[in-house]
Amino acid sequence: MPSPSNVSQRRRHPARPKASAREARPENLREYAAAWSDYELLDAGGGRKLERWGEVVTIRPEINADADALWPLAQWRELAHWEFVETSSTQGRWQKLRADAPESWSIAYRQLHFNLKLTQFKHLGLFPEQQANWRFIAERVVPGARILNLFAYTGAASLVARAAGADVTHVDSVRQMLDWANANQTLSGLADIKWVLEDALKFAGRELKRGKRYDGIIMDPPAWGLGANGEKWKLEHQLPRLAETARGLLQPGGFLILNTYSPKVGLQELAAAGLHFGQGQSETRQLWARSQTGNDLYYGNLLRAVV
Ligand SMILES: C[S@@+](CC[C@H](N)C(=O)[O-])C[C@H]1O[C@@H](n2cnc3c(N)ncnc32)[C@H](O)[C@@H]1O
């Protein structure tokens, strides 16, 4: 892998203009993901990021990469196997930059294994900046703890909790995501996660009525989507209900992690949602990563609360 020393610093590719309306990003709230053997953020800037996933290097658009990249774009393209080229704000295509570029492969994080593949939404099936949440879960979860993962995607948080001995319920409304998460469970040598194909809020509401309680709830809701009855769903509107429902489902001593990448949900909105847990029972944090070239990259906000 390259190092800053072998690349000219004179031909940086330039920063994109900064987004105009941006909330404060206080340094004391930052939680940084650290590189690990199978993943590193190599460089970031100019509206893109350069990442290594095992042996495979990708270039992807990144709206928050508004600093100057340290290495020239031509150098990025020499290193990368794939580049996601946006054709509109919501669509794009993967461009193969090397003949040996695989379309799917797997990487490890500690004892866990994840299948990666190129998706049409520029994602690969893992959000490495979630590592701060994975660390929190691994530290907090004890064997036998009941953990509910809502909007659970390909299962990274579910697997971290299951590996710590938790009894995990994983909820996602998209069948392909459950299949992908299940394959990651098998690949990681784990078993017995309970898979639920359903609208997250509908399931959580039903669990509440059934009197079910959990020791930890993890959720990473999308910024918008479709709800149980096909209605348009916007996180900024659903946030109070999500927090209230989670509060009702948690046992004394239980925790909530509510993560968001939505630009409409800032620290203030999360702090307000945290008030469902009572004064002093919650904190807001931000997910960040530092590239190997030293650029800091902001990803999103989160609420942690305890009962
Ligand atoms: C941003 S991803 C979660 C990423 C995950 N936390 C991680 O780090 O790997 C959002 C997930 O929510 C799911 N989803 C969207 N709307 C949903 C709904 N109404 N109920 C349940 N899941 C939903 C999507 O299928 C997707 O898997």
- Convert the pLDDT of each residue in 8-17 to its tens digit: 343 455 555 4
List, for residues 256-295, the tens digit of each pLDDT value.
Answer: 999 999 888 899 999 999 999 988 899 999 999 999 999 9
Mention every residue, 6+ apart, whose C-beta is less than 8 A from residue 66.
15, 16, 17, 18, 19, 45, 47
What Rg value do the Cα atoms of the chain yield, rounded?
19
Q: Is 205 in the pocket of ligand 1 (CB under 6 A)?
A: no
DSSP 144: T
Cα of 153 to ligand 1 centre, how many Å?
5
Is residue 212 pLDDT above 50, yes or no? Answer: yes
For the chain, what percent of residues have pLDDT higher than 90?
82
Greatest pairwise CA separation for the chain in angstroms = 63
Is residue 6 pLDDT above 80, yes or no? Answer: no
Question: Atom 16 (ligand 1): residue with closest C-alpha?
Answer: 225
Beta carbons of 59 and 76 less than 8 angstroms apart: yes
Q: Which two tokens stand for residue 208?
A: 């509440």
The helix/strand/coil state of 202 is helix
26 CA to centre of own chain: 20
For the domain spanning 4-107, the CATH number is 2.60.40.1180
Q: In CATH, what class is 127-306?
A: alpha beta
The pLDDT-based confidence of 89 (bands split at 50, 70, 90) is: confident
Cα of 199 to ligand 1 centre, how many Å?
10
Going from N- to C-terminal start, the domains of the chain cover 4-107, 127-306
The overall average pLDDT reported for the chain is 91
**Model pTM score:** 0.91
Cα of 220 to ligand 1 centre, how many Å?
6
Strand boundaries in 54-164, DSSP class E:
56-61, 82-86, 92-96, 104-109, 112-117, 146-150
pLDDT at 1: 44
Cα of 267 to ligand 1 centre, how many Å?
21
Q: Is 177 in the pocket of ligand 1 (CB under 6 A)?
A: yes
Range of lowest pLDDT (92-106, 168-182, 193-207, 229-243): 229-243
Name the residue among 261, 200, 262, 281 with its Cα closest to residue 271: 281
Atom of ligand 1 nearest to the CA of 220: 6
Q: Is 218 in the pocket of ligand 1 (CB under 6 A)?
A: no
Name the residue among 253, 241, 260, 254 with its Cα closest to residue 303: 260
The pLDDT-based confidence of 229 (bands split at 50, 70, 90) is: confident
Determine whether 253 is exposed, middle or buried from the number of CB atoms within 10 Å of its CB (0-12, 13-18, 19+): exposed
The helix/strand/coil state of 304 is strand
Q: Is 19 in the pocket of ligand 1 (CB under 6 A)?
A: no
Q: What is the average pLDDT across 76-87?
A: 96
Name the residue among 132, 162, 133, 134 with its Cα closest to residue 147: 162
Q: Is 109 in the pocket of ligand 1 (CB under 6 A)?
A: no
